[in-house]
Structure 1
């Protein structure tokens, strides 16, 4: 049936839950329906795609793990030097490790094998290989998850509740 975006009382995204859990929150009066996709659980009760909690919930900041999978997602499975898209992508250190480059969101990008070998132990400027985008730490772990759903063509109604550019 699908996933449901849960908004805090302030309309900021809080998490993604199952449609069953969302319906329970609606029935218990803990949330209100904000969006639905035209499908119905039963007559007169639309299947929610976005709900909003009636009371504000404080949420601690959650750090996003620096993993290969997450870097590939951030860079949209695209070589940041030549725009190649494919399965055989590698990770490249913008400032090479041999020159003190760290494992960080700001220093690692997705690269095809050809570009990674061509760049070698040089900086992009030295190799005359400018980056397509500047590497950065993702906004939040929830933003990261929401973009996966939206970019896969699912839950387009979530777009308006997320800060940032989801078009790319």
Structure 2
């Protein structure tokens, strides 16, 4: 049937859950349906695609690990210079390591081997190779999961509840 985006009482995304768990939360009065997909469980109970908890839940901030896999996922498996998508992808330091550039969300991008070699030990401006988008750290750990659903077009109604996707 699908997944349901769970919002905190403040409308910030908390989690993605199953439709069954979402229905239980709504029936118990712990959450309210915010968006519906047009399907119904019963005549007066629509199938929610977004629910909001009635009470605020404090969630500790979780740091998103800086990994090769997460960088590729953030950049949608696409070269940030020529927009190539395929298997021959590497990581490129926007500001080269030899010039003091470190490993950070803002300094690492996905690049194809050809563009990485062409750019070499220069900045994108020096190499006349502008970036497709400015690299930045994802806003939350839920970022990757929600963006996967949005990019597939499964839940376009989630877009208004997430920032930076």
Match of residue 71 from structure 1: 71
Shift of 1:112: 0.8
Question: How far has the Cα of 1:5 moved from its partner?
Answer: 0.5
Matches within 5 A, 1:61-140: 61-140=61-140
State the match for 1:149 in structure 2: 149
Q: Which residue of 1 aligns with 2:23?
A: 23
1:160 alignment partner in structure 2: 160
Cα separation, 2, equivalents of 1:90 and 1:146? 25
Q: Which runs of 5+ in 1 are unaligned?
A: none
CA distance in 1, matches of 2:60, 2:139: 14
RMSD of aligned C-alpha atoms? Answer: 1.7
Distance 1:44 1:88 in 2: 52
- The number of residues matched between the two structures is 165
Deviation of residue 160 (structure 1)?
1.5
Once the two structures are overlaid, the 10-residue window that deviates more, 147-156 or 98-107, is 98-107
**Corresponding residue of 2:4:** 4
Measured in 2, the distance between the counterparts of 1:91 and 1:130 equals 16
Residue number in structure 2 paired with 1:60: 60
Unaligned runs of 5+ in 2: none
